[in-house]
Amino acid sequence: MFIVLEGIDGSGKTTQAARLGEWLSGLLGRERVLVTKEPGGWLGGDAVRRLALGGGLSSVWGEFFLFMMDRCEHVSGVVMPALEKGMCVICDRYTPSTLAYQVLSNPLIGSEAAEYMTGMSEVIGLPRPDCACLLDIDADTARRRLETRGKLNSFDARGRDYFERVRAAYDALIKRFPDEWIKVDASEDENTVFGGLKRGMERMFGTRLGGHAT
């Protein structure tokens, strides 16, 4: 199983990815679950992460290819080996992040670029997630959370309108591929959000969760 968590900055993905990992480890066995992340979830990925988040890139296509490069290394070194062993992989961000943050949210890039990227991902052999979960939250609430945590990166300086466009881009992806997506209201407290995520997983995977999901 390949599960991807998505959402704008401050949506709580990292916390929920860890909780999902714990829950699935309880159902499937700890050795059968891997929680990983993009950008930077591979050996050598820290340097790419620093470059991507440091704010030094001037071209959106530079950003695009850097995230794609990071993904290629992450997939070949971490994700594929785990999937080939039959493990369940939970990935904090994946191709939908690039589609939402670099492509669909950018008014200067036509939507045909999304088709191009999807085609390119297939040619490269990037595995398609079995399920993508959107932790949905409005840009103002997410921003308040990030400020409270004091955890801002260069993307966070892009402001409210950018993040509302990213959120709308996620919605467009859900409309296009409704069978592959779960959407959870992420503005609630951590336990309530996790409850929604669990219910979504149970609906999506049913007996594949070991037949004893609760």
As a whole number of angstroms, the distance between CA 156 and CA 133 comes to 21
> Is residue 170 a contact residue for ligand TYD (CB under 6 A)?
no
Choose the stretch contacting ligand TYD; rule: CB under 6 A; options: 97-105, 107-115, 126-134, 205-213: 97-105
Q: Cα dihedral sign for 83, 85, 86, 87?
A: negative
Q: Which residues contact 156 (CB under 8 A, 6 or more apart)?
A: 9, 143, 146
Q: Which of 42, 101, 170, 194 binds ligand TYD (CB under 6 A)?
A: 101
Query: Could you tell me which of 183, 210, 181 has the C-alpha nearest to residue 88?
Result: 210
Asked whether 62 and 19 are in contact (CB, 8 A), the reply is no
Cβ distance to ligand TYD smaller for residue 16 or 98: 98
Stretch in the footprint of ligand TYD (CB under 6 A) among 35-43, 83-91, 131-139, 199-207: 35-43
Cα 183 to Cα 180: distance, rounded to the nearest angstrom: 10
Q: Count of residues binding ligand TYD (CB under 6 A)? A: 15
> Does the footprint of ligand TYD cover residue 153 (CB under 6 A)?
yes
Q: Which stretch binds ligand TYD (CB under 6 A): 32-40, 73-81, 103-111, 202-210?
A: 32-40
Residues near ligand TYD (CB under 6 A) = 9, 13-14, 37-39, 53, 67, 93, 97-98, 101-102, 153, 155
